[in-house]
Chains A and B, each alone.
Chain A
Amino acid sequence: MPKSLSPRLAALRDEIHGYAKEFGLDFFDTVFEMVSYDEMNMVAAYGGFPTRYPHWRWGMEYEQLAKGYEYGLSKIYELVINNDPCYAYLMESNPEVDQKLVMAHVYGHCDFFKNNFSFRHTNRRMIDDMANHATRVRRWVDKIGVEKVEDFIDRTLSLENLIDQHAPHIRRNPDPQRAEEEAKSNERVEGFKVNREYMRGFINPSEFMDSQRKRAEDEKQQRKRFPERPQRDVLYFLLEHAPLEPWEVDILSILRDEAYYFAPQGQTKIMNEGWASYWHSTIMTRRALKDDEIIDYADHHSGTMGVRPGAINPYKLGIELWRDIEDRWNKGRFGKEWDECDDLRARQAWDKKLGAGREKIFEVRKHYNDITFIDTFLTAEFAQQQKLFVYGFNDKRNSWEILDREFRKVKNKLLTSLTNFGQPIIEVVDGNYENRSELLLAHKHDGQDLKGDYARETLRNLQSLWRRPVNIITRYDGKGTLLRYDGQHHSEKKVEL
């Protein structure tokens, strides 16, 4: 079980804590706990929480982590939970220099959790709530049986990404003005009063009257639509409208809560990891490192920053961007004058000695998420320096290859891969499709097709919650396609978009 820190490590923690404060980091109280590698793997398998509801996939996660550790392929150094107080774990077998590095890194994360706007609405008592979730699920397991509960969780997890990532706390409930509008819609379109029948065509031209009638009819239809507007929070829609048993409702809402809790971490991965890396590097190299620790530190740090060609390392990309921003704002490399300067030599020598870098990065860490961060601060120079490229699959050669190094394309691809978490955007558009209580989802196609076998399997899981046939409109090879699962069979037909 987790142990508190030894006096020696507690002293080191106080030291690092002092540096973090000195540099202006602002965080919740942070509790460090000491764990064995096995416990570390367990906590990591549970997504950082010591207590989660029972489910086999934590076991799968654990197996992979444990295997990775045994084979020496991977090792978890740092694990920290967004909570007040923050909880962080240190692995007892790590050398002292690693512990210091991890502490510095953790303070970076905690500062980010506390200050970045994406986390403002997150549940800061999640550690307790997770434990409560576990208790609730266990209670249902005792009552309903493990097979049934597990099976329901499996099916719900399949839909876990269908939440409204970017507006977690907006409830788009039925409009309070609805009744009023309802009344209004009942007014019939009658036009002006006509005394002389031969004037009717002039006072109430029939074309105009028809269009008015049509509009009224459309509006009525609109109001009848269910949901009124397409709804991104598919899980919420199911909670409200699917014919679920009370225990199913409870579990679904637990899973939805957890999905929203984790969403901001996905939206700020590059910023957050970059920020923590920036701070461990700053604190270690400027303050905490002792001479004889430099080699081990460098080895660890370079391991974290390593890149493979076919992947973005958020630690590396993040830290470099933070440093780039700091450097640019120190030297005044921004604004109209800078943008309009195309004298290469002048640009290279540009240094207005503004010294505003530190201040700038603290401001940026507050108001951005990965998308706006990349969109605003990833420059052509930076992309070139960092050797970024777009890669894709070449069917003819049956291999992955570098497609492009052009800045615009790199940036667009990066932004696309971050939009909605790199997941397709899917909405409920009709809960009474074809007037037969069928469910209709729509995929907002942005140039990438859905993975077909996954889509069919997901529909199957959705159907088991909705209990009536489910449909999704998407596009395959540019053609509008309606995938349908009616509880027994999958079908597919072309539709006009």
Chain B
Amino acid sequence: MTLKIHQDHSRFKQIVRGKIKANLRKYVQKGEMLGKKGKDAISIPIPFIDIPRFKYGHKEQGGVGQGDGDVGQQLGPGAVEPGDGHQAGQGEGDHALEVDVTLEELAQILGEELQLPRIERRQNERIVTQKVKYTGVNTTGPESLRHFKRTFKQALKRQIATGTYDPKMPVIIPTREDRRYRSYKLQELPETNAVIIYMMDVSGSMGDEQKEIVRIESFWLDTWLKHQYKGLESRYIIHDAVAREVDRDTFFHTRESGGTMISSAYKLCRDIIQADYPKSAWNIYPFHFSDGDNWSADDTRQCIEMLRNDILPQVNQFAYGQVESPYGSGQFIKDLREAVGDSNNVSLSEIADKDAIYASIKDFLGKGR
């Protein structure tokens, strides 16, 4: 059935999309939406979608409430009526409307705005498996799926309501209507066919700011590649003078003090590809971030050799992002540019600061590989 409201609703969604687009650069830089991530949707604050009026700031105003508590007692978060924005005075307000956007949609917007080409898949076959998930409760079903607890709960409710429950003689007899059954859904699980191998330099010269940049940038890379490949695997490698594979959380929160041997990471990357990701079945994306400071020219030579011989022939695209830091010499990107810069599955990007993330995403994803 179509309702009249659907026209207004889709117009609203269109406006939201426009607002996201218009503010995308800001979102990309600030990473302000990365905090509240659900499974596959995200809350984005949209500025000024509510209608501005002459009104009081809520903080300015305060109000009358009702309940227990002494003077000076704090009211818990959420206890105070929201909706008027929280900031009073002259500053830029945070009277934002939070809208939910799916990552899928966000990736589309990103793609449109940055004019990203669709990735040409090298490996296209996808095996889809089906999985049964018991997620719901139903009033009908086979006896084998009867939900014991829910059935009795239901019966208890009914008996209390009809006055036939006697607490002294707690006998509960479910009737046909009380019975509850577990119900299931078929889920399609696409077989993963792309992998991102993230590598990051965590040596002393990479500070918090640099890592924040990597975190934000990798969020967008993830989002885009997820949009292109259903079901995407990610692996994480950190390195200083030695490399090790870690989980996502460790990846973003480790800080070491040692020196830097980039070759150690590339070696591990190569080994992972060889062991787990045969070229025939996988689209492979190594992304490496560092401040461009390597231990020695010799180590850099090793890196380049490994790239040429082992990594580049295997992967869709190898990407290197150099995050500017006050300590790094920034030499590495120059060496890479000279050695493999003209190879068409290499993209190199220098990221001076958060403002540069936007352009850097385009560097990485603009080739459509």
Contact = CB atoms under 8 A, between A and B. Distances in A.
Pair from one complex: yes
B62 A390 contact: yes
A63 B160 CA distance: 37
A389 B48 CA distance: 32
A38 B9 CA distance: 13
A154 B51 contact: yes
B33 interface: no
Contact of A453 (B72, B91, B162): B91
Interface of A: 38-39, 41-42, 45-46, 51, 54-60, 62-63, 67, 150, 154, 157-162, 291-292, 295-296, 307-313, 316-317, 386-394, 397, 399-405, 410, 413-414, 417, 422-424, 426, 443, 448-455, 457-458, 461, 472, 476
B5 A400 contact: no
B60 A449 contact: yes
Interface string B67-106: 1111111111011110011001111110101001000000
A452 B91 contact: yes
Given A400-B79, A451-B85, A457-B52, A413 B92 contact: no
In which size bucket is the chain B interface? Answer: 35 or more
B66 interface: yes
Contacts of B57: 448-452
21 contacts: A45-B8, A54-B7, A56-B8, A63-B9, A160-B51, A308-B81, A309-B76, A311-B79, A388-B64, A389-B64, A389-B67, A401-B72, A401-B74, A401-B75, A402-B65, A402-B75, A410-B64, A417-B64, A449-B60, A451-B57, A452-B89
Contacts of B97: 60
Contacts of A307: 65-67
A55 B7 CA distance: 9
B17 to A, nearest CB: 12
Nearest to B84: A451
B49 interface: yes
A309 B61 contact: no
Interface of B: 1, 3-5, 7-15, 48-49, 51-57, 59-76, 78-81, 84-85, 88-93, 95, 97, 100, 160-163
Contacts of B81: 308, 310-311
Contacts of B90: 452-453, 476
B55 A423 contact: yes
A391 B74 CA distance: 9
A476 B163 CA distance: 63
Given A161-B53, A453-B90, A312 B75 contact: no
Chain B binding surface SS class: loop
B316 to A, nearest CB: 38
A458 B54 contact: yes
Contacts of B56: 422-424, 448-451
A401 B65 CA distance: 10
A42 B81 CA distance: 24
A310 B75 contact: yes
Contacts of A291: 163
Q: Which 5 A-B pairs have the closest CB atoms?
A: A59-B12, A310-B80, A392-B62, A457-B52, A59-B8
